[in-house]
């Protein structure tokens, strides 16, 4: 390696080191720099067709039907696993006769609790059914806390939680093998970021 080539290489390493140090508190920009340098290995994945009971279904022709197929398959997995479980090993008899104490209505959240929970959320772009992004929450944490505080405390007091925050967007993630087989996919759920904040707040108070 010539002295010029070696110097260029060292200068490039030094440049990127300084760049990463500059953005070490900004995870999004930090990883953008790394991806630009090493190349993003992720490829856009698209499901074109599925094979169900020997019949090939083209996704573009029936997107809603394909979504229902995935939904029915993923919902059925739990039942199959439960059917394989020896329920005789599950014993709740030790809980009989115990008083049921509702501890949630004793919890009172503060604005600080909600802001702290928002700050703990990871910097991701994923959103749930409510469409509220984490970046919006983080950049307007005090305003969101003012809105969420009475909602959360009333929810704890009544033992109820808005239905929209219980929902999730389920996505099929390809594992390996034949892309047309349902068994080669696993589900992931995109939850409401508001429900995540609520969970973090309650978890902290319950500890």
Average pLDDT, the chain: 79
Domain count, the chain: 2
In angstroms, the CA 102 to CA 157 distance is: 10
> Any residues with CB less than 8 A from the CB of 79 and at least 6 apart, and which?
none
Statement to judge: residues 117 and 194 lie in one domain: yes
Q: Is the pLDDT of residue 40 over 70?
A: no
Q: How far is CA 59 from the centre of its chain?
A: 25
**Cα maximum dimension of the chain:** 82
70 is a domain residue: no
Statement to judge: residues 28 and 106 lie in one domain: no
191 is a domain residue: yes
Q: Which domain holds residue 143?
A: 102-206
Statement to judge: residues 117 and 199 lie in one domain: yes
Q: Each residue of 101-150: pLDDT tens digit? A: 457 778 899 999 999 999 999 877 778 888 888 888 988 999 999 999 99
65 is a domain residue: no
Task: Return the axis-axis angle of helices 193-206 and 111-120, rounded to nearest 10°.
Answer: 120
192 is a domain residue: yes
In angstroms, the CA 203 to CA 199 distance is: 6
What is the helix (H) or strand (E) element at residue 49, kind and residue range?
strand 49-52
183 is a domain residue: yes
171 is a domain residue: yes
């Amino acid at each position: 390696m010539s002295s010029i080539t070696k110097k260029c290489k060292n200068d490039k390493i030094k440049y990127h080191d300084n760049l990463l140090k500059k953005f070490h508190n900004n995870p999004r920009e930090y990883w953008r720099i790394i991806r630009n340098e090493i190349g993003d290995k992720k490829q856009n994945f698209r499901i074109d067709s599925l094979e169900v009971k020997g019949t090939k279904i083209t996704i573009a022709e029936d997107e809603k039907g394909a979504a229902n197929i995935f939904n029915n398959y993923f919902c059925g997995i739990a039942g199959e696993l439960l059917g394989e479980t020896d329920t005789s090993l599950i014993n709740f008899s030790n809980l009989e006769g115990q008083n049921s104490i509702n501890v949630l209505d004793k919890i009172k959240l503060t604005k600080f609790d909600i802001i702290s929970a928002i700050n703990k959320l990871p910097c991701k772009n994923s959103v749930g059914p409510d469409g509220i992004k984490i970046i919006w929450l983080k950049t307007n944490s005090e305003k969101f806390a003012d809105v969420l505080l009475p909602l959360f405390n009333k929810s704890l007091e009544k033992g109820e939680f808005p239905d929209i925050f219980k929902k999730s967007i389920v996505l099929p993630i390809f594992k390996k093998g034949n892309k047309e087989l349902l068994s080669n996919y696993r589900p992931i759920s995109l939850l409401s970021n508001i429900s995540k904040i609520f969970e973090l707040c309650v978890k902290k108070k319950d500890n």
